[in-house]
């Protein structure tokens, strides 16, 4: 009997509507900075030590982007913030169908957010994404100093929910994150797409 | 940046590698190619074992099938004989103890292994990784394995050090590269001849030489 649902943020709640357009947008922005593709830029951003330091709260969101973008010539704080806003523009928002899914689930299940993100997400959740009050538990990696797939961050989330692993459901777009969750006894779904998620939850009798 | 942590791999670093010639000799004895023996021991089944997704008995069953051994008893006997040749590098044990005594660095073991490796280490070598190291991370217990960046990040988080403050030593070149990509000072150590040089290098980086 599922009592709580744990959502990843990027790639599950904030998910681009048009995958091809999102890829093309990243390619364009990457090319401006001299990357051969959007994917190359993405790996520059998220596969270095800066991202680990940011997502575990060792450096702030502003410092993270400073370390990445200053060497590429974006040297003022304002210019960097604008650049990041433009980068996430076409995708960063909450997908409307996920927003209505959350509304459907609200009240029937405890809802948790478990995201690898910088400190920025904690404030953006309400101010930018209008998700205030939706989640009973919010675990942002940078604020707890731990990041998925560290088993400790899942345990922390369960503790805050005060619900046993087997009575929760975890949804994440990365198989590695769900695999570690499964090993801890948390039933998990690798995000299959927005409509597919609706169907899957209906099939499982959750919706 | 001062070094605050030294992270060791186990097999091939603290424990001497069995060596290609030894594995080749066993393959001949079993009437198999070396490739078949290696993939039986360290292929797909091992990968599932080291991620904690396969239990020990299933792994042994898979090895038995691949090596055409009659039953699990024969597999146990094979493992006993095959791994009997394993030897620790006393110089590495000494280095680990000396590093810990300085109180200047944390010392960690980051090993792709199976559930219960700590017990085997205790039984076979009289080593307790939980007390011998400040941090012991066994892939099968955390569901992540080298060279996945996530397991290095896990180690850094638990050690509470930045990548540039950590040294990592592994005999597997992919594992060393993955650590280096994160900014960790990676040392690829895969031959007994390099032992003294590697120890001197670590001592120098830590500043105890």
CB < 8 Å to B153, chain A: 52, 56, 147, 150
CATH code for position B43: 1.10.150
Q: Does B11 lie in the same domain as B31?
A: no
- Report the length, in residues, of chain B: 209
Contact flag B142-A180 (C-beta cutoff 8 Å): yes
SS in 3 state form for B88-135? ECHHHHHHHHHHHHHCCCEEEEEECCCCCHHHHHHHHHCCCHHHHCCE
| A66 pLDDT more than 70 | yes
Q: Does B92 lie in the same domain as B54?
A: no
pLDDT for res A169:
98
CB < 8 Å to A56, chain B: 153, 157
- Average per-residue pLDDT for chain B: 96
Q: Does B162 lie in the same domain as B91?
A: yes
CB A191 within 8 A of CB A170: no
pLDDT for res B55:
94
Examine the fold and report which residue of B28, B59, B85 is the final residue of a domain before the chain moves on: B85
**Residue B74, domain extent:** 20-85
What is the number of structural domains in chain B?
Answer: 2
Read off the pLDDT of residues A163-205 as tens digits, 9 standing for 90 and up. Answer: 999 999 999 999 999 999 999 999 999 999 999 999 999 999 9
Contact flag A151-B142 (C-beta cutoff 8 Å): yes
Q: Does B190 lie in the same domain as B99?
A: yes
CB < 8 Å to B163, chain A: 49, 52
Give the whole-angstrom CA distance, residue A165 versus residue A187: 8
| A92 pLDDT more than 90 | no
| A124 pLDDT more than 70 | yes
Q: Chain A: nearest CA to B26, how far in angstroms?
A: 35
Candidates B1, B140, B143, B168, partner chain A, best to mutate (most A CBs within 10 A): B143
Contact flag B182-A49 (C-beta cutoff 8 Å): yes
Q: Which of A150, A179, A180 sits opposite B157 (nearest CB)?
A: A150
pLDDT for res B209:
80
Inter-chain contacts counted by CB atoms under 8 A, chains A and B: 46
pLDDT for res B74:
96
Contacts of B170 (CB under 8 A, 6+ apart): B9, B12, B13, B146, B176, B179, B186, B187, B188, B189
Whether B137 contacts chain A with CB within 8 A: no
Residue A159, both tokens: 């503790």
Beta pairing, strands B166-170 & B135-138:
unpaired
Q: Which of A48, A147, A183 sits opposite B143 (nearest CB)?
A: A183
Candidates A45, A46, A47, A49, partner chain B, best to mutate (most B CBs within 10 A): A49
pLDDT for res B183:
94
Contact flag B182-A56 (C-beta cutoff 8 Å): no
Give the whole-angstrom CA distance, residue A40 versus residue A20: 16
Contact flag B143-A48 (C-beta cutoff 8 Å): no
User: What ipTM was reported for this prediction?
Assistant: 0.82
pLDDT for res B1:
83
Q: Does B97 lie in the same domain as B42?
A: no
| A89 pLDDT more than 90 | no
Whether A47 contacts chain B with CB within 8 A: yes
CATH code for position B158: 3.40.50.1000
**A4-16+93-203: CATH number:** 3.40.50.1000
pLDDT for res A54:
97
Q: Which residues of chain B have pLDDT under 70?
A: none
Read off the pLDDT of residues A19-61 as tens digits, 9 standing for 90 and up. Answer: 899 999 999 999 999 999 999 999 999 988 899 999 999 999 9
pLDDT for res A93:
87
pLDDT for res A120:
94
Candidates B154, B161, B166, B177, partner chain A, best to mutate (most A CBs within 10 A): B154
Q: How many other C-beta atoms lie within 10 A of the C-beta of residue B147?
A: 17
Q: Does B147 lie in the same domain as B99?
A: yes
pLDDT for res B173:
97
Whether A149 contacts chain B with CB within 8 A: yes
- Average per-residue pLDDT for chain A: 95
Q: Chain A: nearest CA to B74, how far in angstroms?
A: 31
């Amino acid at each position: 009997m599922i009592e709580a649902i744990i959502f990843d943020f990027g790639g599950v709640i904030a998910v681009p509507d048009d995958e091809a357009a999102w890829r093309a947008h990243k390619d364009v922005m990457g090319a401006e900075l001299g990357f051969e593709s959007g994917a190359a830029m993405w790996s520059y951003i998220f596969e270095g030590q800066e991202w680990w330091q940011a997502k575990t709260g060792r450096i702030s969101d502003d410092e993270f982007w400073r370390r990445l973008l200053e060497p590429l010539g974006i040297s003022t704080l304002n210019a960097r913030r604008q650049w990041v806003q433009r980068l996430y523009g076409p995708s960063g928002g909450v997908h409307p169908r996920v927003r209505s899914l959350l509304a459907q689930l609200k009240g029937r299940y405890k809802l948790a957010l478990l995201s690898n993100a910088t400190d920025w997400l904690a404030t953006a959740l309400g101010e930018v994404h209008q998700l205030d009050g939706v989640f009973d538990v919010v675990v942002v990696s940078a604020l707890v100093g731990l990041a998925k797939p560290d088993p400790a961050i899942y345990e922390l989330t369960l503790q805050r929910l005060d619900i046993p692993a087997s009575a929760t459901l975890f949804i994440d777009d990365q198989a590695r994150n769900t695999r570690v969750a499964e090993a801890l006894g948390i039933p998990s779904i690798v995000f299959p797409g927005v409509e597919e998620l609706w169907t899957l939850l209906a099939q499982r009798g959750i919706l | 940046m001062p070094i605050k942590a030294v992270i060791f791999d186990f097999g091939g670093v603290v424990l001497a590698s069995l060596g290609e010639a030894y594995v080749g000799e066993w393959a001949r004895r079993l009437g198999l190619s070396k490739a078949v023996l290696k993939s039986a021991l360290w292929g797909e089944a091992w990968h599932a074992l080291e991620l904690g997704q396969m239990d020990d008995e299933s792994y042994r069953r898979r090895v038995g099938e691949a090596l055409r051994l009659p039953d699990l008893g024969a597999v146990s006997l094979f493992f006993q004989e095959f791994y009997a040749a394993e030897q620790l590098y006393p110089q590495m044990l000494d280095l680990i103890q000396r590093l810990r005594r300085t109180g200047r660095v944390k010392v960690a073991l980051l090993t792709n292994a199976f559930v219960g490796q700590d017990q085997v280490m205790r039984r076979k070598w009289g080593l307790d990784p939980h007390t011998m190291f400040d941090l012991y991370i066994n892939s099968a217990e955390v569901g992540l394995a080298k060279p996945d960046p996530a397991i290095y990040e896990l180690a850094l988080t638990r050690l509470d050090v930045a990548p540039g403050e950590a040294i990592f030593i592994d005999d597997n070149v992919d594992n060393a590269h993955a650590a280096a990509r994160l900014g960790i000072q990676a040392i690829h150590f895969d031959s007994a001849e390099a032992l003294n040089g590697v120890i001197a290098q670590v001592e120098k980086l830590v500043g105890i030489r």
